[in-house]
Amino acid sequence: MSALSAAEIADGVRARTLDPVDVVERSLAAIEANEELNAVITVCADEALARARTGVSGPLAGVPVLVKDVLDTAGVRTTYGSSIYREHVPERTAAAVQRLEAAGAIVIGKANCHEFAWGVTGQNPHWGDVRNPLRPGRIAGGSSSGNAAALAAEICPLALGTDTGGSIRMPSACCGTVGYKPSFGKVPTDGCFPLCPSFDTIGPMARSVSDCALAYSMLALEPAPAPALEGLTVGLLDRPPAVGPPDGEPPADRRASAYVERLERLGARVVEVELPAPELDTWPLFYAEAATSHRATFPARRSEYGEDLRTKLDDAQAIGRREARAAKRAVDAWRERAADEPQVDLVVSPTLGVAEIPAADVSELAIRVPFSAFTRPFNYLGWAAVALGELQLAGRSDATVLGAALAWEEAYGSASVTGA
């Protein structure tokens, strides 16, 4: 049952060949059976079963969904992956969660994540580290780590994550699943603990592009596109732009070239491209907004934060207003330039900037910049991007990116088969 897709479950519930209570019970049992993954912080069994018993309808009727624990859920504990909010129970539900529930989805729990969604490894000093079911001994990726691990373990068919620098796409690549980051502003972020509002996005995670597209259509209130790659110009990206001096010079990476023949077989024209780079260091904007997001509790409750987040927020405190304003202007100018450059419909690249990383003794602070080198620029540019496991497609248009990903999946299968 847990291996069924979201579309298959919804079809079965609407046709009354599947009982939503049975569907939910099987997902709850799968959470318990996979407890060692540490993918879930809070299980809301009573609430989920009560909702299933009252009857559900809609495009996502009866579909169990895990919600990243930085998104508010009324009456269900929401910790933001922290110890400070260990007993926090919101009164309202995040707008994106409401949209999935309105389509018939049933929230079964809150997924583990990096503390306050700021990290790439899935390590959490308060709730424990998420384990990778696809590649044991490797990191699960972050920060939407519990979502990806649960999907890979077939606990549920659908999850809702957040992505500020790759937090949906990196764990999807690590765990061999699919994660979609919509273009900036497409999905409301109300009810999400902010990391950096200029880059924060909310999007679906699943085991297939088709399920992500179905959920996206509910989140963005627009139809899912048809599969389409023929006639598109696809830029092959092997060197991501640095977002500022701390990145250094990203090394060239030819992994995406392995996908060229397959793209061309589907009618795409593939050319090599470089993305425009920002004129100034843009990191000060990220840090300044993160500092603002935490001003109610940092530095006043500094000792209650994990070590790596304390270090990041200490650095954030040092950013001045003038520096942040200059970075904001640089980001705005970068986005304006990238509206026309490069002249391609899509960009293809690896999802991860670094190959698989062992979970033992890994330093999040040491790997976070190179690890997210290919995902982070698209948050800064506001583009849509999808991770099909280790393959990333990005572009200015949600319909183009999702349509191309659907065409790829239709021809070559799901992201669980990684590599070319």
The sheet that has 40-43: what strands, in order across it?
40-43, 106-111, 64-68, 158-163, 201-206, 178-181, 384-388, 391-395, 346-350, 233-237, 269-273
Q: How many CB atoms lie within 10 A of CB 150?
A: 33
Helix (H) / strand (E) element for 181: namely: strand 178-181
Q: Active-site residue among 27, 68, 82, 349?
A: 68
Nearest in space to 198 (alpha carbons), one of 79, 317, 284, 308: 284
Helix (H, G, I), strand (E, B) or coil at 148: helix
- Is 216 in contact with 398 (CB distance < 8 Å)? yes
Record the tokens describing residue 104, joined without a space: 């018939």
- Is 382 in contact with 310 (CB distance < 8 Å)? no
Record the tokens describing residue 279, joined without a space: 């004129």
143 catalytic per annotation? yes
Helix (H, G, I), strand (E, B) or coil at 168: coil
- Is 253 in contact with 348 (CB distance < 8 Å)? no
Q: Active-site residue among 167, 183, 198, 349?
A: 167
- Is 342 in contact with 270 (CB distance < 8 Å)? no
Q: Active-site residue among 5, 143, 372, 414?
A: 143
Whole-angstrom distance, CA of residue 289 vs CA of residue 331: 13
Amino acid at 101: E
* Phi (first) and psi of residue 20, to 5 degrees: -60, -30
**Greatest alpha-carbon span in the chain:** 61
Whole-angstrom distance, CA of residue 204 vs CA of residue 162: 8
257 catalytic per annotation? no
- Is 263 in contact with 348 (CB distance < 8 Å)? yes
Record the tokens describing residue 363, joined without a space: 């330093």
Q: 3-state DSSP: the chain helix, strand, coil percent, rounded to 5?
A: 40, 15, 45
Q: How many CB atoms lie within 10 A of CB 336?
A: 11
167 catalytic per annotation? yes
Residues with active-site annotation = 68, 143, 167
